[in-house]
Structures are given as structure tokens and as C-alpha cells.
């Protein structure tokens, strides 16, 4: 069964638009996470960025208290955030690149250029009982480096696939890259997740990518929830994921 991890960052973004710097506000990303779980989501993803632009510290600590499924903490490999993760003990961390000027995470982590630092963080997380995923572009060198680092998971960056979805030829190229990447990762004993830019239109074709365990989806779900409600948005997405054979 293909699992759904719901990224609640965009709920926090909406809250911060009005209540930034306050110790209260709406909508509450923790309440949203619980609603997603109740609707059948298999996990909750939250990105604690260094600039705290959406998810803030109190959110992740409350999530750790109440989440009953699987808490995935997206994070940069930065000393402050690493220290928080080791205390928080999410079920899994997903290490991502982070740039202050980006709107959302752009591109994958350069594992090849950062093998030593990532290996050290991976070991510290694993020693604390936390699994590690690396958010990477679907290229052979990054997948091989991820295996060398010792990560349990990779998360394939599906942004290029989503960006080119309207162009049949370009879409096919990106889909084949994802298929090849998933096969290579599986051969290297890496578990495969995927995410970025996935929505109700482009998800079905992704069923052709083998060996996937979980899709992490945020913006599309929160956008859909504006008109149909969060529970319905999650239910609709789960329906699109049915029948995946891996």
C-alpha cells in the first residue's frame, strides 16, 4: 500500500500571515495534523526551517505529543536544528537543502558534495533511534551517495516531473528518470519516498514508479481543503493512491 504523508507547512504559513510572532493564532497546524490522521493519512510532515517562517518550535513539540501515526521532520543539516531533532525524536527526519530566499524547497540535497557531514548527522540520528531520509534529485550519483551515507530512505524530488506535466514529451522524460531512480535505490537497499509538486492531476501517472513507500504532499491538499475541507481533501488523495502495486 502506498502511504500518504501530509505536509502541514502551508497551514502554518496561513497562520503566520496574520499571527507571526504571537504565541497563538489560527489555523492551528497541530489541529490540521490530527484531522488528517483521522481522515486516514499515514503520517505528518513538518519542516522546521532555520528562519521559522511557518512551522515554529512549539508546533513540533506539540506534534510529537499528539501524533499517533508517523512524524517526519524536514530539516536542514544545521547544528541548531540537528540538536532540536535529537531531543524531539521524530520517527524520521528528512534532510533537505534550505535557502533563505526560496519560496519552498527548490531542488534536492547535494549528497555527493556533503557526504561526510551527512554521514555524521545520519549516524547521530540513527544512534538516537531516528530514521533518516535524504531529499534528492533523481540522479544516479546522488542515489549512490545516499547509500554510501547510510540513509534508510531517499525522497525523490518530483518537482521537475510536476513542472513538466503539461508537456507529454518532457513529462515522459521526467517520469522515466523517476522510474530509473527508484529501481537503482531499491537495488542499493534504499527505501523510496517521493514528493514536491504532486497534486490531484499528476499523481495517477506516478503509479508507474516502482518501490515507493510514501508520498509527501502538502500544498495541493491544503489548497483543495479551502473548498472541500481537509478531511475530504485527504480522502480524495488517498483514493487516487489506491491500487499502487509498487
Q: What is the mean pLDDT of residues 79-102?
A: 90
Better-predicted residue by pLDDT, 107 or 47: 47
Which of the residues 10, 42, 54, 196 is marked catalytic?
Answer: 196
- Residue range(s) defining the domain that contains residue 24: 3-241
Task: Please give the pLDDT value at position 24.
Answer: 86
**For residues 222-236, average pLDDT:** 97
**Is residue 221's pLDDT more than 80?**
yes
Residue 212 falls inside a structural domain = yes
Section 139-161 average pLDDT: 98
120 among known catalytic residues: no
* pLDDT score of 98: 83
pTM, two decimal places: 0.95
Which contiguous run of DSSP H or E holds residue 126?
helix 115-127
Which of the following is catalytic: 37, 74, 98, 131?
74
Q: Does a structural domain hold residue 60?
A: yes
- Asked whether residue 117 carries a pLDDT value surpassing 90, the answer given is yes
Which grid cell is 244?
499502487
Residue 101 has pLDDT above 60, yes or no: no
Active-site residue flag, 196: yes
* Closest C-alpha to 139, from 98, 97, 185, 196: 185
Three cell numbers at 221?
Answer: 491538499
Which whole number is the average pLDDT over 157-167?
Answer: 97
**Cβ atoms within 10 A of the Cβ of 172, count?**
13
What pLDDT is stored for residue 86 in this prediction?
98
Q: What percent of the chain has pLDDT over 90?
A: 93
- Whether 92 maps to a domain, the answer reads yes
In the residue annotation, 174 being an active-site residue is answered as no
Instruction: Return mean pLDDT, the chain.
Output: 96
pLDDT in the model for residue 21: 84
State what percent of residues in the chain have pLDDT above 70. 97
Averaged pLDDT for residues 98-126: 84
* 246 within a domain of the structure (yes/no): no
Integer angstrom CA distances of residue 193 from 3, 47, 73: 9, 16, 14
The total domain count for the chain is 1
- Please report whether residue 87 resides in a domain: yes
Note the pLDDT of residue 106. Answer: 62
Domain presence at residue 69: yes
| Active-site residue (options: 42, 47, 54, 157) | 47
Q: In CATH, what number is assigned to the domain containing residue 159?
A: 3.20.20.70
Amino acid at each position: 500500500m502506498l502511504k500518504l504523508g501530509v505536509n502541514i507547512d502551508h497551514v502554518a504559513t496561513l497562520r503566520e500571515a496574520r499571527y507571526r510572532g504571537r504565541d497563538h493564532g489560527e489555523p492551528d497546524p497541530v489541529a490540521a495534523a490530527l484531522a488528517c490522521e483521522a481522515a486516514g493519512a499515514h503520517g505528518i510532515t513538518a519542516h522546521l526551517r532555520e528562519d521559522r517562517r511557518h512551522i515554529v518550535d512549539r508546533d513540533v513539540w506539540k506534534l510529537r505529543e499528539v501524533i499517533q501515526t508517523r512524524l517526519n521532520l524536514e530539516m536542514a543539516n544545521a547544528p541548531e536544528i540537528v540538536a532540536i531533532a535529537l531531543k524531539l525524536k521524530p520517527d524520521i527526519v528528512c534532510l533537505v537543502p534550505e535557502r533563505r530566499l526560496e519560496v519552498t524547497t527548490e531542488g534536492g540535497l547535494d549528497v555527493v558534495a556533503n557526504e561526510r557531514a551527512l554521514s555524521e548527522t545520519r549516524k547521530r540520528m540513527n544512534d538516537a533511534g531516528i530514521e533518516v531520509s535524504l531529499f534528492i534529485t533523481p540522479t544516479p550519483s546522488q542515489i549512490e551517495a545516499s547509500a554510501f551515507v547510510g540513509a534508510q530512505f531517499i525522497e525523490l524530488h518530483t518537482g521537475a516531473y510536476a513542472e513538466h506535466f503539461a508537456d507529454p514529451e518532457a513529462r515522459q522524460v521526467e517520469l522515466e528518470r523517476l522510474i530509473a531512480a527508484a529501481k537503482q535505490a531499491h537495488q542499493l537497499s534504499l527505501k523510496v519516498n517521493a514528493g514536491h509538486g504532486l497534486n490531484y492531476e499528476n499523481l495517477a501517472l506516478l503509479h508507474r514508479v516502482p518501490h515507493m513507500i510514501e508520498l509527501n504532499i502538502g500544498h495541493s491538499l491544503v489548497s483543495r481543503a479551502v473548498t472541500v475541507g481537509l478531511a475530504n481533501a485527504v480522502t480524495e488523495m488517498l483514493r487516487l493512491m489506491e491500487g499502487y502495486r509498487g
